[in-house]
Amino acid sequence: MRILIKDFSSHIGQEIEVSGWLYNKRSSGPIAFLELRDGSGWTQAVAIKNELASEIWNEIERATQESSVIIAGAVSAHPKKPDVYELHLKNFSIVNLSPDYPIAKKEHGPDFLMDNRHLWLRSKKQWAILRLRDAVMTAIAEYLHQQNFIRVDSPIFTPNACEGTTTLFPVPYFDLGTAYLSQSGQLYIEAAIASVGRCYDFGPVFRAEKSKTKRHLTEFWMMDAEAAFVEHEENLRIQEGLVRHIIRYCLEHCAEEFAALERNTENLKKADSDFTRYTYDQAIAKLRELGSDIKYGEDLGNDDEVLLTKDSVVPVFIEKWPKNIKSFYMKRDSANTELVLNDDLIATEGGGELIGGSQREDDFDLLLERIKKEGLNADDYQWYLDLRRYGSVPHSGFGIGLERTVRWLAGAEHIRECIPFPRTIGRLKP
C-alpha cells in the first residue's frame, strides 16, 4: 500500500510503500540511512545490507541525491523522539537517477539559489515556507468567511492608478490605449460592499519600484478586505482578529514547518495577545525618546518601525496619521480634521508593516475635494464617486501583504523566499 509520510503514525508495524525523493544518504558499512521526502513530510529509511538481496543493495548504493525513488518497508516509531517514525527498508527502486544535483550541501550565494529557484524549492526550509504560506492563505479565507466576508476579486488591468502613478507597470491594451497593472484592488471592492456587505480580494499586485530591499518585490500577493457599516474601531478589531487567527492557525497546523525553520514559536504565542495601540502622535514622541530624529509629519521608515516595536511582544497599531501624508480616500477624524482614521500594523521581531487600513471617506464632497487636491483627474474617479452618490455608507477596510506576513511568521531573512517564484527589479527568471 502506497501511503504518505505524514500518515506514518497510523501505520506503525505495517509494511507500506512510499514514493519520493532521496535528499540525503549516509552509509556506515553494511547499514545505509536514506533520508526521504515525499512532499507531505520527511523520513528516514534504514537499510541493512545482509537483510537485502544484492540487487536491492546495489540500487541503494547507486542512488544519488535527488533521485526519485520508491521505498517499501515497515513503519516504526522512533525509540526516543516522539512523533518521529522511520522505515525499516525491505525494497528499493530508483524511478529516475539524478546526476550531479547542482544544489549541494555546501553554502550557495543568493543569486545561485535564485537562478535555481525551481530546484531550491525542494530544500527543507523552502518546503516549510511554501507550506506555511499555504496555511496563511487558508487561515485568512477561514477567518474572513467566519466574519461574513465574501471573496470578490478585483481586476489586474486597470485604467487608472490607485496610489500614485510613478510605480505603475503599463501594458498596451488593444485599441483602448494603456492598461496599468493593479497596485491595489481596494477601490473595486469598495464597490462590491454595496452588493455583498463585506468582501475581500486576494491576488497579485504590482509595483514598479526600484527598491532593492529585503522587503520589496515587484509582484506580490495582497489581501484587501472591505466592510460596509464598519468604522475605525471595528476595523482595527477585525485586523487584530485576523492576525491572531493566522498565528493560531499556523501554530496549530505547522509545527513541523516551524521546526524546520528553527522558528521561536514562543514569540508567536506571545504575539497572540491584545495588540498595542499608539496614535501617530504618540509614536513620533516615543520614537524621538528612543533616539530617532523623525519629525512630526514625516512617514515612518522601516528603521522607525523596528525601533518602535523592538520591546513589544505583540504587534503594534499606529493610528490616526496626518492626512497630508496619507491617501485621498481616507476619512478625516472628526475630532481633528488634520488627521485621518487610518492605521498601520507593525509586526514584532523586526517584521515591519503587515497591514495598512483606514475608514474610507464616505462623503461625496469631501472625497471630490481630496481627489482634486491630490491632482488626480476627477473624471477617472466618477465611478468611484458614484459609490458616494448612490447609497453611501460608513465603511472601512485594510490590506495585508501575504509575503510580509509569511516572512514574519517564518522568521525568514528575505522576502524573496516567501513567494514561490520571486520577481524583483533584477530578476524575472526562472
| Candidate residues 45, 228, 314, 330; the one interacting with its own copies per rule CB under 8 A | 228
Closest CA to 87 of 174, 175, 171, 2: 2
Residues 193-222 that bind its own copies (CB under 8 A): 193-199, 203-204, 206, 208, 210, 218-219, 221
CB 262 within 8 A of CB 255: no
Nearer to its own copies, 85 or 384 (CB): 384
Q: Which residues partner with 89 through β-bridges?
A: 73
Q: Which one of the spans 38-46, 284-292, 316-324, 330-338 is the region binding its own copies (CB under 8 A)?
A: 38-46
Total residues contacting its own copies by CB under 8 A comes to 99
CB 239 within 8 A of CB 355: yes
Query: Using the rule CB under 8 A, is 98 a contact of its own copies?
Result: yes
The identity of residue 30, as a single letter, is P
Residues 336-365 that bind its own copies (CB under 8 A): 362
Phi, psi of 199 (to 5 degrees): -150, 170
The pairing of beta strand 150-151 with beta strand 15-28: unpaired
Nearer to its own copies, 49 or 427 (CB): 427
Q: Where does 32-123 have alpha helices with state H?
A: 54-62, 110-115, 117-120
CA dist 405 and 353 (Å) reads 9
CA dist 331 and 232 (Å) reads 9
Query: Using the rule CB under 8 A, is 172 a contact of its own copies?
Result: yes
Minimum distance of its own copies from residue 66's CB (angstroms)? 4
CA dist 308 and 288 (Å) reads 10
Residues 231-250 that bind its own copies (CB under 8 A): none
CB 295 within 8 A of CB 312: no
Nearer to its own copies, 33 or 421 (CB): 421
Q: What angle do CA 216, 221, 226 make, to 5 degrees?
A: 120
Residues 52-91 that bind its own copies (CB under 8 A): 66-68
Minimum distance of its own copies from residue 394's CB (angstroms)? 8
Nearer to its own copies, 300 or 402 (CB): 402
Nearer to its own copies, 48 or 428 (CB): 428
Q: What angle do CA 401, 403, 409 make, to 5 degrees?
A: 105
CA dist 232 and 52 (Å) reads 69
Minimum distance of its own copies from residue 300's CB (angstroms)? 27
Q: Which one of the spans 170-178, 343-351, 352-360, 406-414 is the region binding its own copies (CB under 8 A)?
A: 170-178
Query: Using the rule CB under 8 A, is 137 a contact of its own copies?
Result: yes
Minimum distance of its own copies from residue 65's CB (angstroms)? 9
Closest CA to 44 of 84, 96, 3, 93: 84
Query: Using the rule CB under 8 A, is 176 a contact of its own copies?
Result: yes
Nearer to its own copies, 204 or 350 (CB): 204
Q: In the stretch 404-423, what mask flags binding to its own copies with x, by CB under 8 A?
A: ---------------xxxxx
Query: Using the rule CB under 8 A, is 383 a contact of its own copies?
Result: yes
Minimum distance of its own copies from residue 415's CB (angstroms)? 14
The SS3 of residue 229 is coil
- CB-CB neighbours of 246 under 10 Å: 26
| Candidate residues 3, 113, 191, 313; the one interacting with its own copies per rule CB under 8 A | 191
Q: Which one of the spans 173-181, 276-284, 371-379, 409-417 is the region binding its own copies (CB under 8 A)?
A: 173-181
Query: Using the rule CB under 8 A, is 390 a contact of its own copies?
Result: yes
Q: What angle do CA 129, 184, 304 make, to 5 degrees?
A: 65
Closest CA to 227 of 219, 217, 237: 237
User: Which residue spans within 125-272 are E strands per DSSP?
Assistant: 150-151, 157-158, 170-172, 178-181, 198-206, 219-228
Q: In the stretch 279-308, what mask flags binding to its own copies with x, by CB under 8 A?
A: ------------------------------
Q: Which one of the spans 45-53, 97-105, 266-274, 338-346 is the region binding its own copies (CB under 8 A)?
A: 97-105
Minimum distance of its own copies from residue 351's CB (angstroms)? 21
Query: Using the rule CB under 8 A, is 118 a contact of its own copies?
Result: yes
- State CA 152 to chain mean position distance: 19
Query: Using the rule CB under 8 A, is 153 a contact of its own copies?
Result: yes
Lookup result for grid cell 510605480? 167
Minimum distance of its own copies from residue 251's CB (angstroms)? 18
Query: Using the rule CB under 8 A, is 36 a contact of its own copies?
Result: no
CA dist 306 and 420 (Å) reads 26
Q: Which three cell numbers stand for residue 340?
A: 485621518
Q: Which one of the spans 145-153, 298-306, 338-346, 349-357 is the region binding its own copies (CB under 8 A)?
A: 145-153
